Amino acid sequence: MPVRDTSSSLDHSLLRRALTAARATEIQPFEVMEVLARANELQRAGRHIVRMEIGEPDFTAPGPVVEAAASAMRDGLTAYTPALGLSELREEVAAFYARRYGVNVSPARIAITAGASGALLLALATVLDPGDEVLVPDPGYPCYRHFVRAFEGVARTLPVEAKNAFHPTAAQVEAAWTPRTKAIVLGSPSNPTGTLIDPLQLATIARFVGSRGGVLVADEIYQGLSYTDEVRTALDLPGDVVVINSFSKYFCMTGWRLGWAVLPEGLVRGFEKLAQHFFICPPTLSQRAALAAFLPETVAILEDRRAEFRRRRDFVVPALEAIGFGVPAKPNGAFYVYADCSRFGADSRAFTFDKLLEQAGVAATPGSDFGANGTGRFVRFAYTRNMEELEEGISRIRRACER
Amino acid sequence: MPVRDTSSSLDHSLLRRALTAARATEIQPFEVMEVLARANELQRAGRHIVRMEIGEPDFTAPGPVVEAAASAMRDGLTAYTPALGLSELREEVAAFYARRYGVNVSPARIAITAGASGALLLALATVLDPGDEVLVPDPGYPCYRHFVRAFEGVARTLPVEAKNAFHPTAAQVEAAWTPRTKAIVLGSPSNPTGTLIDPLQLATIARFVGSRGGVLVADEIYQGLSYTDEVRTALDLPGDVVVINSFSKYFCMTGWRLGWAVLPEGLVRGFEKLAQHFFICPPTLSQRAALAAFLPETVAILEDRRAEFRRRRDFVVPALEAIGFGVPAKPNGAFYVYADCSRFGADSRAFTFDKLLEQAGVAATPGSDFGANGTGRFVRFAYTRNMEELEEGISRIRRACER
């Protein structure tokens, strides 16, 4: 009898569903959040930490952008906007593509969103049915696979190699594509590697994806922060290409939560309907502020900052190599160095927490945040601190690693 | 041979998947957007339209809120915040519940979000597995069922009746609950009806839902705009209750895109992980601004506005009844009147577009935006315009309806 009772109570607890859905259980948090929390703890305890873990510029929004926001606020221009954003801002973004990249795109295809995150979320919600497969690079930005999981798609990782600048090759994409594959997501410049994809490979991938009726999602969130002369956009590639971008990185407007997507015509209506319900509209003040983001005086400030990021990269990369880190693919964009730390221990997570954070007082992100493909040997450093801080960081890392 | 060719090309087009996912095809746009577009068109052509279609206060953010945003902007406090929001703001919201509703809630259970929309999206993403059923009222806010659809759940509508103030009864909920039911979403005060749910019914529903291990999502976005003395929150009800609220309506901060959810402890972690990836964080300036939303001087302004909304309701409801509209359940919250217009024609959509908009020059929302349960007889008027405009609107409606 007692046995029956127990079993019946077990049955009851088994039948009772979990409160939390599978997607929320399976989706992993950013590991960097643990680093960040511990770094904050150490700082509160009075220790100085060089913060090289965060993907956020140390610069804030340029003066003209702040002025535009202040003026909109004074005028009470803070009501809801259309779901796809202010038409003036969509036109500004279109003009930006024409001016900067020589690409013509209709403002009707541009959707202003709540950050690149909002753009990615809506784009994948618009194209993915349950079970649809999506190819994502490993290492790569972890949200790609999480968004896919969130809408019941299946993320298939493409292991990318240093010899290909940590980007998929057309051959890899063709080999991995199945009848269930609906899309591929690529980030260039890449987070965490800061590398740009070879334009010929990308064009070949676009043609292939187009021939299969798939969607190429090109995450160009770091496009403005490129340190080569030949920066392109995936916008003029063939097939159904969704381009994602943001005011967070190049424009230094992180907390303003504003980005955009450029959509194939056939996706605009679906994306708009979802945007209406999911977001109502992107933050209005941020949109008003962003109207000043393309002014020549703003761009002059941003170009100076880009030059500063480049100077930092030119300091950090060789300095890390001199200490003994491997940088097998040189970053020429974003503000990250993806560095092989295997010379200093077997596991980059332990290296990040014990050696770098606790011992050296330098916060960085363990490679494991970005996938499973050799990521345990890597650590990501963000050069989102000024030169003085970066020099201090490098000295600390050197001392800790030489011990 | 030509037949084979044709058939093979047909097969090809059939095999080729739709570019847009089923969710984006099935989810319907707000019909009010059509009204809005046509009203804008008429205005651009020089005609004055009384805008009673939009669920947006005509007041903008109170002075202290704007000041707080301006000061944060001057200080460059615009970086990313934690995914669940600034801890100071979570504490302010907790203090607000204690002060205003006498309910104790830990700030750890409060998530600041990108509007009530962000809160609803994340809450349903956190609890719904594909196929899970969710009960939603009909008529009700259409996003409830769209969010459920977006995460592959199944919305089951509860036809609500005027005699129950357009809210579900406990008996209805019990009858509709199946082993697949995971949650119920209720809005009180309701959009579109402006009615509050009977507290005893709600408590009975909460107990029942709790006994089934389900989740009660209480959308309290219009809670601050209630015109009775006995306003409660669902927060102190038993079971797993998620409370949704916003800075958009009572606090008049629509375009700022800021809201919150109060979560059962068991859902906080899942919600937080999804928030990290979906949103990074809610808009920072809006959070800084909202820190001033609970100041006594702000609340004094907002309470004056609430009194003004009440005056408008006290004018609009009897005025519509005098014209011949039926208002079978008197609104005592929000800023909507859900009015039976069947005396003026068979179909409220035609009535809204032809009689009201084109003929009278008054924009309103057809009931069909809110479901299928008798909604074709109803139209929703928003009293989000000043008394002068509302008087003009009522005169125009009277003239058009008397013809």
**Considering CB atoms only, which of B128, B276, B278 is closest to A29?**
B276
**pLDDT tens digits, one per residue of A166-214:** 999 999 999 999 999 999 999 999 999 999 999 999 999 999 999 999 9
Question: Above pLDDT 70, what percent of chain B?
Answer: 96
Q: Are A360 and A375 in contact (CB under 8 A)?
A: no
**pLDDT tens digits, one per residue of A344-387:** 987 999 999 999 999 999 999 999 999 999 999 999 999 999 99
Q: Are A338 and A346 in contact (CB under 8 A)?
A: no
Q: Check for a shared fold between A20-60+298-402 and A64-294.
A: no
On the question of pLDDT at B12 being above 70, the answer is no
Structure tokens at A9: 């109570």
Q: Are A245 and A218 in contact (CB under 8 A)?
A: no
Is B267 part of the contact surface with chain A (CB cutoff 8 Å)? yes
Q: Are B151 and B125 in contact (CB under 8 A)?
A: yes
On the question of pLDDT at B118 being above 60, the answer is yes
Is B209 part of the contact surface with chain A (CB cutoff 8 Å)? no
**pLDDT tens digits, one per residue of A33-74:** 889 999 999 999 999 999 999 899 999 999 999 999 999 999
**Among the residues of A19-142, which ranges form H helices?**
22-26, 32-44, 63-74, 87-101, 115-127
| Main-chain dihedrals φ then ψ at residue A296, nearest 5 degrees | -55, -40
**pLDDT tens digits, one per residue of B196-240:** 999 999 999 999 999 999 999 999 999 999 999 888 999 999 999
Q: How many CA atoms lie within 13 A of A48 on its CB side?
A: 5
Closest CA to B38 of B367, B400, B354, B368: B354
On the question of pLDDT at B338 being above 90, the answer is yes
**pLDDT tens digits, one per residue of B339-354:** 999 999 879 999 999 9
How far is the C-alpha of A127 from the C-alpha of A133, rounded, in Å? 11
How far is the C-alpha of A261 from the C-alpha of A218, rounded, in Å? 10
On the question of pLDDT at A157 being above 90, the answer is yes
**pLDDT tens digits, one per residue of A108-117:** 999 999 999 9
Closest residue, chain A, to B116 (C-alpha) = A279
How far is the C-alpha of B127 from the C-alpha of B152, rounded, in Å? 11
Res B2: pLDDT: 36
Is B215 part of the contact surface with chain A (CB cutoff 8 Å)? yes
Mean pLDDT of B62-78: 96
Closest CA to A60 of A389, A370, A289, A397: A289
> pTM to 2 decimals?
0.95
CA distance B271 to chain A (A): 7
A260-288 CB burial, b ≥16 within 10 A, e <16: bbbbbeebbebbbbbbbbbbbbbbbbbbb
- Among B11, B14, B15, B23, pick the best mutation site for testing chain A contact (most A Cβ within 10 A): B23
Subunit contact A127:B253, Cβ cutoff 8 A:
no
Res A360: pLDDT: 97
Res A32: pLDDT: 87
Subunit contact A69:B66, Cβ cutoff 8 A:
no
- pLDDT band for A231, please (50, 70, 90 cuts): confident
The neighbour count for residue B95, using CB atoms within 10 Å, is: 13
Res A345: pLDDT: 82
How far is the C-alpha of B86 from the C-alpha of B296, rounded, in Å? 21
How far is the C-alpha of B310 from the C-alpha of B304, rounded, in Å? 10
Res B5: pLDDT: 37
Res A14: pLDDT: 45
Mean pLDDT (chain A, rounded): 94
What would the CATH number be for the domain defined by B63-295?
A: 3.40.640.10
Mean pLDDT of B10-38: 79
On the question of pLDDT at A92 being above 50, the answer is yes
Kindly indicate whether the domain formed by B22-60+298-402 is annotated with CATH number 3.90.1150.10.
yes
Closest residue, chain A, to B115 (C-alpha) = A279
DSSP A283: -
Q: Does the ipTM exceed 0.90?
A: yes
CB pairs < 8 Å spanning A and B: 226
Res B70: pLDDT: 96
Q: Are B218 and B250 in contact (CB under 8 A)?
A: no
Is B393 part of the contact surface with chain A (CB cutoff 8 Å)? no
Q: What is the 3-state secondary structure (H, E, C) of A307-367?
A: HHHHHHHHHHHHHHHHHCCECCCCCCECCEEEEECHHHCCCHHHHHHHHHHHHHCEECEEH
Is A11 part of the contact surface with chain B (CB cutoff 8 Å)? no
On the question of pLDDT at A22 being above 60, the answer is yes
Domains of chain A by residue range: 20-60+298-402, 64-294
Q: Which residues of A touch B182 (CB under 8 A)?
A: 17
How far is the C-alpha of A257 from the C-alpha of A285, rounded, in Å? 10
Q: Which residues of B touch A22 (CB under 8 A)?
A: 129
Subunit contact A273:B127, Cβ cutoff 8 A:
no
On the question of pLDDT at A18 being above 60, the answer is yes
Closest residue, chain A, to B240 (C-alpha) = A19
- pLDDT band for A16, please (50, 70, 90 cuts): low
Question: Above pLDDT 90, what percent of chain B?
Answer: 91
Res A133: pLDDT: 98
Domain A20-60+298-402 is classified in which CATH homologous superfamily?
Aspartate Aminotransferase, domain 1 (3.90.1150.10)
On the question of pLDDT at B336 being above 90, the answer is yes
How far is the C-alpha of B212 from the C-alpha of B61, rounded, in Å? 41
Q: Which residues of A touch B54 (CB under 8 A)?
A: 80
Greatest distance between any 2 Cα atoms in chain B: 82
The architecture CATH gives domain A64-294: 3-Layer(aba) Sandwich (3.40)
> For residue A182, what is the enclosing H or E element?
strand A181-187
Is B125 part of the contact surface with chain A (CB cutoff 8 Å)? yes
On the question of pLDDT at A274 being above 60, the answer is yes
CA distance A393 to chain B (A): 22
